[in-house]
Amino acid sequence: MTPTDISAHFSPIFSDIRERSSVAETFIDRDLYRVYVATLWSNVVLSPAEVGLEEEDLPELHDILLDEMSAALGAKETLHDLFQFISGKGGERAMAEARLTQSHKDLLQYFSSMILDPEGHKRFMDDIRDQQNP
């Protein structure tokens, strides 16, 4: 997909995220917005084909997502910043306020560990595999 195609394909999703996290017409609950964006990214990375993307489209979507976040939040944030928020007290509070299920929280925490500590995450996953296949 071209960058223009990806942007057009995700435009309704970005609009929905903004609408769902809006407190008033011009105000966005920044924390709730971050939860929704983290959920979007996690799901797309897990199954890009389910949303009509190829794995090689992910870097382009990443850049488009950062631009969308910047426009909505008014400041540049990286996905690292986003998942650092998710794994902190603010993220815990936002996920509780959003009434996420435990499996949804687990998904976001899983992605946080992959992004914030990729080496530790790899060791953790290797330990799990070793326990399953002694």
- Check residue 133 and give its pLDDT: 73
pTM over 0.95: no
Structure-block tokens of residue 128: 């799990």
The C-alpha atoms of residue 66 and residue 69 are separated, in whole angstroms, by: 5
Tens of pLDDT, residues 78-132: 989 999 999 999 999 999 999 999 999 988 998 898 888 777 656 666 666 677 7
pLDDT digits (tens, 9 = 90+) for 37-70: 999 999 999 889 999 999 999 999 999 999 999 9
pLDDT at residue 120, rounded to an integer: 66
Count the Cβ atoms, other than its own, within 10 Å of residue 37.
24
Q: Where are the alpha helices (DSSP H) in the chain?
A: 3-20, 30-46, 58-73, 79-87, 89-97, 102-116, 118-132
pLDDT at 88: 93
Bridge partners, residue 106, by sequence: none
CB 52 within 8 A of CB 43: no
In contact, 58 and 45? CB cutoff 8 Å: yes
Bridge partners, 24 (sequence order): 27
Tell me: the pLDDT tens digits for 72-82? 888 888 989 99
Cα-based torsion angle of the residue sequence 91, 97, 98, 103 in order, rounded to the nearest 10 degrees? 70
